[in-house]
Structure 1
Amino acid sequence: MVIGLLEWTGERIIPKLLKPTNGMLLEHIARYYFATPYIRGRVLDIACGTGYGCHMVSKERKRELTHLVGVDIDAETIYYANREYNHQKITYQTGNAIDPELPEKLGQFDTILSFETIEHVEDDLLFMDNLYRMLKPGGTLVLSSPFGRGRGKQTSEPFHIHQLTPEEFEELFVRFSKVEIYYQRGPTFEKPREDVRYFIGVAVCTK
């Protein structure tokens, strides 16, 4: 089952099959640790992958969390998440991040996590509209994305449709009442410095 999953799910992270020092694994885990303080109430992890992140934040914030919904487009991945990262406060289910009816299907959330997802969808503005509709007033969205040449331009990553520029990334959040932009460098997060080139942006947004 796991071997088959690795053969065709591209960038999905399976911690049990990676060395603890794997750079991609450390970056992914770091994003969930970064988001942990924002976890409260009803939570959505959109494109949750194999479920390790859902399980992490549910254990860390078990008092503040009432329910977490982990959604991924791939049924086999959801099957794996249910088997390996089951938790009494987590529900895993299949769903398409750019389904216009997704907000009606899932309802609203106090916190939404979206890590390394927007570069995989053709219509990033529809994706953002879904997230905005699913976030409760006063709720928090934590979203990350790698930077690149820009919307509609080819990338060197086989599983990425496009990668936004830092300017395009910031423009995604104009509707939110408060936005803080951070930059990820390996497992660390910081405000921008002039002498450093950043490849991943992380936005913390309040509706």
Structure 2
Amino acid sequence: MAERAHPHDKGFQNTFFGLINNPYRKALFERYSYCNEYIIQKEVIDVPCGTGWGTSLLKNAKNIIGIDIDQDSIDFANNMYRSDKLKFQVGNMKKLNLADNICDVLICLEGFEHVSQQTGQEFLIETKRVLRDNGIFIMTCPIIKKGGLHSGNPHHIYEYPEEELLKILNDNFYCMRIEEIENPDNPIIRFIGKTVKYYI
């Protein structure tokens, strides 16, 4: 399986003349489609965006910036999907190179496990910095259930035990919604939080 979803990658294509749905492709479309209800007329950041395939599925946002550390992926994304409302730029999760309070929604779908724990913590700090007050953070991330094992995906630098990930997210955001969703490999946590944790 490639590290980044690519529309030409056989690992993400349907089989038997398109009659059999590829579970990884199905998951990609489900993750991004789910986000659409939260981004209507919003300014959105998607990080890491990979080749931009998933980012291109985000609809009705005011504008979207996709960020990824890989220059080749960004070049592909800009060639394939760039528009007046959608652009892509190189950056990394430790330092997003964006102004403070620049977006309403930040999306991170299955990217958190691709960086170290230290980088993950720095990314959450960056996320809170670039999100506006009451901004929304949407994340999906594989988890290790109690007694479970790492999925074996070589691109996953650190897969979080469920309790550890939930504590990190709840320490950083006001939780609006959290759920466990099916995945071809380890289960996935979907977390939706706000930048304001306590209301008066």
Task: Please tell me the TM-score bracket, short chain as reference.
Answer: 0.7 to 0.9
Distance 1:179 1:120 in 2: 24
| Contact 2:48–2:68 (8 Å) recurs in 1 | yes
Question: Aligned to 1:92, which of 83, 88, 99?
Answer: 88
Task: For structure 1, list consecutive stretches of 5 or more residues without a partner in the other structure.
Answer: 1-5, 188-197
Tell me the equivalent position of 1:19. Answer: 13
2: CA distance, partners of 1:140 / 1:107: 12
Task: Mark the CA change 1:170 to 1:144 in structure 2 (over 3 Å): closer, same or farther.
Answer: same
Listed as ranges, the gaps of 5+ residues in structure 2 are 15-20, 196-200
Change (3 A) 1:70 1:106: farther
**In the alignment, which residue of structure 2 is the partner of 1:69?**
65
Q: CA deviation at 1:131?
A: 1.0
Q: Aligned residue for 1:184?
A: 181
Q: State percent identity of aligned pairs.
A: 26
Pairing of 1:1-207 with structure 2 (within 5 A): 10-17=2-9, 18-20=12-14, 21-40=21-40, 41-57=42-58, 60-61=59-60, 65-99=61-95, 102=96, 104-105=98-99, 108-122=102-116, 123=118, 124-148=120-144, 156-173=152-169, 174-186=171-183, 199-207=187-195
Of 113-122 and 140-149, the range deviating more from structure 2: 140-149
- Aligned with 2:172: secondary structure? coil
SS at match of 2:37: helix
* Cα distance per residue 1:53-107 (max 9 Å; x no partner): 22111xx31xxx22110000000000111111222201100001112xx255575
CA contact (8 A) 1:45 1:113 kept: yes
**Contact map agreement 2:91 2:97 (CA 8 A) in 1:** no
How far, CA to CA, are the matches of 1:14 and 1:30 in structure 2?
16
What one-letter code is carried by the residue in structure 2 that aligns with 1:15? P
Residue identity in the other structure for 1:33? S
Whether the 8 Å contact between 1:103 and 1:130 is mirrored in structure 2 is no
CA–CA distance in structure 1, aligned partners of residues 144 and 114 of structure 2: 13
- Normalising by structure 2, we get a TM-score of 0.81
- What residue identity is the alignment partner of 1:53? G
Q: In the aligned structure 2, how far is the partner of 1:23 from the partner of 1:131? A: 29
Letter in 1 for 2:173: F
Q: Secondary structure at the match of 2:32?
A: helix
Contact 1:182/1:202 (<8 A) preserved: yes
Please report the TM-score for the alignment, with normalisation by the length of structure 1. Answer: 0.78
Q: After the TM superposition, list the runs of 4 or more consecutive aligned residues in structure 1 that deviate by more than 3 angstroms.
A: 103-107
